């Protein structure tokens, strides 16, 4: 059993970066792929800071792009550990963009990354336990439990569901697809 515990606050980290024209997509907004790269960097930094080990991205569980980010806006990403397992952590990240001329701040993205702690040999390493200090931290931890449960349920469904059954194929008729199996 792990005897070391750390507070969520021990994992808190934020980064800010000015969005440049070189970060844009073809519509002139900041490219989602660029934001994903920054998200992965802060998830790594947050997880590594919390556990004291090198960490790898195991999955990107949710990325919700809520509002576009414009050139010239100051993007701030805030991350913290929301959940810990034995060697894994779920990192919650909030992305805000500030118009530096008006001071207006908008919530642009929420993301959840599962990171795994590694030892010097590349094996999974134990992470500290998590001290939940307020109801918001309890809510975030509980939401992660639900997320993990849904992921396990999806995996079980994938293992057991018969996609070739007559019922499964007939059920697809209500969607915008045409089935042409060879």
Cβ proximity of 23 and 147 under 8 Å: no
Q: How would residue 62 be classed by pLDDT, with cut points 50, 70 and 90?
A: confident
Residue 115 CB coordination number (10 Å): 25
Q: Average pLDDT in the 121-135 region?
A: 98
Number of H helices, E strands in the chain: 3, 7
Q: Average pLDDT in the 30-52 region?
A: 97
Taking the chain, what is the end-to-end CA distance rounded to the nearest angstrom? 54
Q: Average pLDDT in the 126-146 region?
A: 97
Q: Where are the alpha helices (DSSP H) in 19-165?
A: 32-51, 135-160
Q: How far apart are CA 174 and CA 182, in angstroms?
A: 21
Q: What was the pLDDT predicted at 3?
A: 75
The encoded tokens of residue 1 equal 């059993």
Q: Strand, helix or coil at 33?
A: helix
Q: Average pLDDT in the 25-37 region?
A: 96
Interior angle at CA 55, CA 49 and CA 57, nearest 5: 120
Q: What is the DSSP letter of 30?
A: B
Q: How far apart are CA 39 and CA 119, in angstroms?
A: 23
The encoded tokens of residue 84 equal 């810990």
Q: Average pLDDT in the 138-146 region?
A: 97
Q: What was the pLDDT predicted at 2?
A: 57
The encoded tokens of residue 4 equal 């070391």
Is the pLDDT confidence value at 46 over 60?
yes
Q: What was the pLDDT predicted at 182?
A: 82
Distance from the Cα of residue 17 to its chain's centroid: 19
Q: How far apart are CA 90 and CA 51, in angstroms?
A: 12
Q: What's the chain's average pLDDT?
A: 95
Q: Average pLDDT in the 137-142 region?
A: 98
Cβ proximity of 129 and 4 under 8 Å: yes
Which position has the token pair 């792990």? 2
Q: How far apart are CA 88 and CA 91, in angstroms?
A: 10
pLDDT tens string 91-123: 999 999 999 999 999 999 999 999 999 999 999
């Amino acid at each position: 059993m792990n005897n070391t515990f750390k507070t969520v606050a021990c994992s808190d980290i934020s980064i800010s970066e000015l969005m440049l024209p070189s970060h844009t997509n073809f519509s002139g907004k900041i490219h989602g792929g660029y934001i994903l790269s920054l998200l992965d960097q802060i998830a790594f930094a947050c997880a590594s800071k919390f556990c004291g080990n090198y960490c790898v991205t195991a999955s990107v569980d949710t990325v919700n792009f809520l509002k576009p980010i414009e050139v010239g806006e100051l993007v701030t990403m805030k991350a913290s550990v929301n959940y810990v397992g034995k060697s894994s952590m779920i990192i919650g990240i909030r992305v805000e963009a500030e118009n530096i001329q008006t001071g207006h701040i908008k919530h642009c993205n929420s993301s959840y990354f599962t990171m795994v702690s590694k030892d010097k040999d590349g094996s999974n390493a134990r992470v500290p336990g998590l001290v939940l200090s307020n109801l918001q931290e309890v809510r975030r931890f509980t939401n992660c439990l639900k997320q993990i449960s849904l992921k396990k349920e999806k995996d079980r469904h994938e293992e057991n569901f018969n996609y070739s059954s007559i019922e499964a194929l007939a059920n697809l008729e209500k969607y915008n697809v045409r089935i042409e199996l060879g």
